[in-house]
A and B are shown apart, each in its own frame.
Chain A
Amino acid sequence: MSALLTEPFLVSLLFGAVTAGLPLLLAGLGEQISEKAGVLNIGLEGMMLVGAYTGFVATYHTGSFWLGFLAGGAGGMCAALIVLLLCIRSGLNQIVIGIAITVGAEGLTSLLHFVQFSRSYPRLAAAPALALPGLSNLPILGKGLFSHNPLVYLTVILVGALTWVFRSTYLGLSLEAAGNKPAALDAAGVDVVRTRSIAVLCTGFLAGLGGAYMANVGAGIFVPFITGGAGVIGIVLAMLARGRPLMVMVGAALFGASLAMTTALQVAGIDVPTDVVQMLPFAVVMAVLVLFGRHSMLPPALGTPYVRGER
């Protein structure tokens, strides 16, 4: 066991947990905004994948990581535009269109990767990291938690900002109403379709940003199916968090840590099938659900299109 408590092991575990957890956090926060507004985004995985591709291409061609993040967010928003047009405006089934987005993004990005990169598999240079003054000098924690890409710190700020938006702003109230009782929101003079559209575009941006981080910072390369189920975990996190951004962060940390544990154990030379560790977070969440099984408190209007005057 002593191999587990050495400094390099703990640093790589913490650092890996943040790197693996951040895309989950971004996607989970994005999904949370949509779900609050009553839109179920099953296409989250596809939005991340599009963002990972566009983000990688932008950074590969310009060399700028910030442009890459922006392009990733924009790519995710483009995928979200399909939800906006077909589900929110036209009332088509959100699960069908969501699956179409994921399947289509998997196919399209793989196809584009094949055409552009399949011979060269280009890699990016290491992403810039910002060591927070003071904090980064702490033993273990400094290197593990406070020497990351600036996007990590911005995302933590975003968690706080979203909590504030949900709790104390007019927009947060509108989002909540759009998911709970859209007719009431409509009666109050706020456009339900517009509110939900804003929510879905935010989701696309954050999911795309998460995907871009995954490709550019986490992996340094884009490969087909790079998101590998991160979007699905994002949906799970958002549903479990019951509308609280902080809980998404706790969940993302848990899942990120277990993903990092698999590589960290290999670094420490301990031979456990990675599958055992990967099961842990899901097993923990299922156990919590069984033991404390409370109602999951999803917005009543989740997944149903709003048609004015229809009951």
Chain B
Amino acid sequence: MNQGGLVAALQGTVLRVLLPVGLALFAGGLILLVLGKDPLGYYGYVLQRSLLRWGGAQETLTRMAPLLLIAAGLIVAFRAGIWNLGGDGQFLLAAVASAALAPVLVTVMPRGLMLISCMLAGALTGAIWSLLPAVLKVRYGVNEIITTLMMSFLGTSLANVLIKLVLRDPDTTVPQTRSLAVDDRLPRLFGTTIHAGLPLAVAAVLAVHFMMTRTAFGLRLQVQGANRAAAVHAGFRVERLTIAAFALSAALIGLGGAVEVLGVWGTVRADWNPALGLLVVPLVFLARFNGCAVIGFTLFFSALMVGGESAARRVGVPQHYVLVLVALLLLFLGVVEYLDQSRRKSGGP
């Protein structure tokens, strides 16, 4: 690619990303105006609270860890043509598994080993929870959208049942698992409140990007995602690839649950469900399944969440407004992409 082509490609990318973001913020601002709020005041407050203030920025970065791991998991699945929409169940069960193990293991092994074992247990739990949809898809061709959604409902309820009936800490009034002491949680980085899960999550999403775009295994997954018949024809073991993609996807999402528990909460309360599984899906689409780009969108979303929660109290715009912004962003992304395609088809520049 020559220099001019590179510049044009870069321009196109910026246009296709920044234009939808700008349009969404603009349309969202109009909604705020209709509601009688000051859009610039709101955006300014969110920006200041979530990124410009050091405390808020730390919070924003900490929130990114589970989002990034879920995104990594979704990228593996979506690139392999698998609609893993059961992230919530995988995330929660993994969180419960690691929360249940941690207080027990910490008494018998050093902290580092305990943390690693708990993260592995979380990843494994996630992977196991995806096994049934994977096998049903491979063996009977049952659509994974329904099976993963059902397993997600099942997993969410099962997590609650486990907390309330089996793992309940007898010393608390609200049902929750036994709490892991703050000193035993994931180490904090350089005196900040950001825990070691963040670099781990960034590394994971970059590794996934590298694996999907630069390795033979990733290429096989992408081929079977794009055209199953072609993959069979090329002699790939499609069944194994499908199960591997499911397991890897769910393991990464499960790791996200484990990291959130080990890094931030130290326990899981009954009926706790951040429901991040479906919220990360739009971010992964906005990034076009690109592991590097998703980091930027996750930062954007995380900042919106942190700033939006605070703005609900200070500026009087409910936190749910963030959801409207995400939806507008998705819609405008689609529209810009469509206009871009039809411009190219009609032979434009």
The answer to whether residues A290 and B132 also contact, given A86-B331, A275-B157 and a CB cut-off of 8 A, is: yes
The answer to whether residues A235 and B157 also contact, given A104-B324, A107-B324 and a CB cut-off of 8 A, is: no
Q: Which of A103, A236, A282, A290 contacts B330 (CB 8 A)?
A: A103
Binds B, one of A13-21, A131-139, A183-191, A293-301: A293-301
Q: Is the CB of B335 within 8 A of A110?
A: no
A279 to B164, CA, bound (A): 14
Residues of chain A within 8 A of B331, CB atoms compared: 82, 86, 97, 100, 104
Q: A154: shortest Cβ distance to chain B, in Å?
A: 28
Binds A, one of B112-120, B178-186, B277-285: B277-285
A40 to B327, CA, bound (A): 18
The answer to whether residues A296 and B142 also contact, given A99-B282, A100-B282 and a CB cut-off of 8 A, is: yes
Q: Which of A110, A236, A298 contacts B150 (CB 8 A)?
A: A236
Contact mask for chain B residues 320-339; partner A; CB cutoff 8 A; 1 contact, 0 none: 11111111101101110110
A129 near B: Cβ within 8 Å? Answer: no
A236 to B151, CA, bound (A): 11
Q: Which of A40, A106, A240, A278 contacts B323 (CB 8 A)?
A: A106
Residues of chain A within 8 A of B285, CB atoms compared: 93, 96, 99
Q: A89: shortest Cβ distance to chain B, in Å?
A: 10
Interface SS, B side: helix
The tally of residues in A whose CB lies under 8 Å from a CB in B reads 48
Q: Which of B136, B143, B153, B326 contacts A103 (CB 8 A)?
A: B326
Residues of chain B within 8 A of A86, CB atoms compared: 331, 334-335, 338
Q: Is the CB of A97 within 8 A of B338?
A: no
B161 near A: Cβ within 8 Å? Answer: yes
A126 near B: Cβ within 8 Å? Answer: no
A115 to B320, CA, bound (A): 12
A92 near B: Cβ within 8 Å? Answer: yes
Most chain B CB inside 10 Å of its own CB: which residue of A96, A102, A240: A96
Residues of chain B within 8 A of A285, CB atoms compared: 150
Q: Is the CB of A103 within 8 A of B318?
A: no
A101 near B: Cβ within 8 Å? Answer: yes
The answer to whether residues A95 and B83 also contact, given A111-B35, A235-B145 and a CB cut-off of 8 A, is: yes
Q: Is the CB of A295 within 8 A of B141?
A: yes
Residues of chain A within 8 A of B279, CB atoms compared: 103
Q: A130: shortest Cβ distance to chain B, in Å?
A: 33
- Size band of the interface chain B makes with A: 35 or more
Residues of chain A within 8 A of B330, CB atoms compared: 96-97, 99-100, 103-104
Q: Is the CB of B327 within 8 A of A104?
A: yes
Tell me the chain B residues, 126-152 only, with Cβ under 8 Å from chain A.
132, 136, 139-143, 145-147, 149-151
Q: Is the CB of A276 within 8 A of B327?
A: no
Q: Is the CB of B324 within 8 A of A108?
A: yes
Residues of chain B within 8 A of A92, CB atoms compared: 334-335, 337-338
Tell me the chain A residues, 228-280 only, with Cβ under 8 Å from chain B.
229, 232-233, 235-236, 239-240, 273, 275-276, 278-279
Selected A-B contacts with CB under 8 Å, 19 pairs = A91-B338, A95-B83, A96-B285, A103-B282, A105-B327, A107-B326, A110-B323, A111-B35, A111-B318, A233-B153, A236-B149, A239-B145, A275-B157, A279-B154, A282-B153, A286-B150, A289-B142, A293-B139, A295-B140
- A104-B330, A111-B318 known; 4 new pairs, CB 8 Å cut-off, are A104-B324, A107-B323, A108-B327, A111-B324
| B interface with A by C-beta (< 8 Å) | 31, 35, 83, 132, 136, 139-143, 145-147, 149-151, 153-154, 157-158, 160-161, 164-165, 278-279, 281-282, 285, 318, 320-328, 330-331, 333-335, 337-338
- Nearest 8 A/B pairs, CB to CB: A104-B327, A107-B323, A110-B320, A107-B324, A100-B330, A293-B140, A275-B157, A275-B160
